[in-house]
Amino acid sequence: MRAFVSLVIAVVLSVAGHLLVWGGGWTLHRLSAQLREQTADALLPSVVLGLGVLCLAGAMLTVAWSSVGVVIIGLVQTLTGLGIIILPAAIWAGTLISAERIYRPVGDGLFAWWASGLGLLVGLLFLVAGMATAARRPRSTAAGRVVTTVLSLVLGAGAVLLVALGGARLIQSIQQRSGGIELLGVLLVLAAAVLVVIVIAGVRFSSLGAIVLGVLLGALGGLLIWSPQLVLRPIASNRALTDGLRYAGDGGGYLVLGVLVLVAGIAGVVRARRRRAMEPVEDVDERIGYQPEDGVGSLFPFGAAGDDTPTGPIRTGPASTGRATPPGERPPDRV
């Protein structure tokens, strides 16, 4: 029952979140042209984008209780995103472009989301987060936290650059109606997808790397939306990278990725705590060096000092004399 409820909640929140992100994010993308600061006109689309991000975060958070919904959503989005960047644009571009006739901001956002490879990355993030948290270890080691954090920061930075460069090439090839497959753009986006998989798979061992990366990536996404010149002016000479960061960033793409990575890390912490709580008491006694006489017992017969609540078995029979029973002799009867 829990799996079914999590599936329904994840699907509803995912659909609503994507629609809100596409509508609000692409409106902000148009307003952020020429590297301007966002004005009061951006207030409403910012609220819409924020609601969309919260809905997607809620969908991801269901993985803390069941991975079924997140895995199914991730699988569908991954296959869709992979098909869109691999198949020639002539096969699917008309379908996405026709969405503008329903509501242009949503249609534009939907087109940029899938054509740039962001849809593929978000799908993989959902899919791998579901599998990684399902196999989450109850405890992380110090070495695991250090390794996953370093890898997350290095690989996360690489994924940001690769999807920016690859996504820009994919969208430009469609806008120029070049036809065929933009092979270099596809390879760059696929390389970014591999890095994302590695980063999120690390949640199985430790959530620290995902949490740190999520915070930094979310901050980058926020800057690209509301103060893009702080990020883009220093690299304005690199037109390909600038265009790529704008396509993926000021429409809310990096903000979404950052929040989802952060929530995946938090969900991993929740799953780890639940598993620790389910561990047998004997395992806890063993870890702290206590070896009870009969395999049960407790450190203190009455819990903490001054607490009269029994926490372990209390033996009421006669005290042992410490003398071993000789072979062939029956032990004394207990009263």
In the numeric block, the tokens 């070049």 are attached to 178
Report the mean per-residue pLDDT for the chain. Answer: 79
**Side chain identity, residue 272:** A
What average pLDDT score do residues 98-120 get? 76
For residue 197, the model assigns a pLDDT of: 94
Asked if residue 315 has pLDDT above 90, the reply is no
Residues 6+ apart with CB under 8 A from 132: 200, 201, 202, 203, 204, 264, 268
pLDDT > 90 in the chain, percent: 37
- Better-predicted residue by pLDDT, 240 or 82: 82
For residue 10, the model assigns a pLDDT of: 93
Tell me: the pLDDT tens digits for 33-80? 644 555 667 788 889 999 999 999 999 999 888 889 999 999 999 999
User: How buried is residue 113: exposed, middle or buried, by Cβ count under 10 Å (0-12/13-18/19+)?
Assistant: buried
For residue 324, the model assigns a pLDDT of: 52
Residues 6+ apart with CB under 8 A from 156: 195, 199, 213, 216, 217, 261
Q: Please report, to the nearest 10 degrees, the dihedral formed by the alpha carbons of residues 311, 317, 322, 324 taken in order.
A: -120
Going 190 to 194 to 195 to 201, the CA torsion angle's sign is positive
In the numeric block, the tokens 């092979």 are attached to 183
User: Quick check: helix, strand or coil at residue 182?
Assistant: coil
For residue 144, the model assigns a pLDDT of: 85
Tell me: the pLDDT tens digits for 260-305? 999 999 998 988 888 888 766 555 444 455 444 444 444 434 344 4
Tell me: the pLDDT tens digits for 167-221? 888 888 877 766 667 889 899 999 999 999 999 999 989 999 999 999 999 999 9
For residue 305, the model assigns a pLDDT of: 42
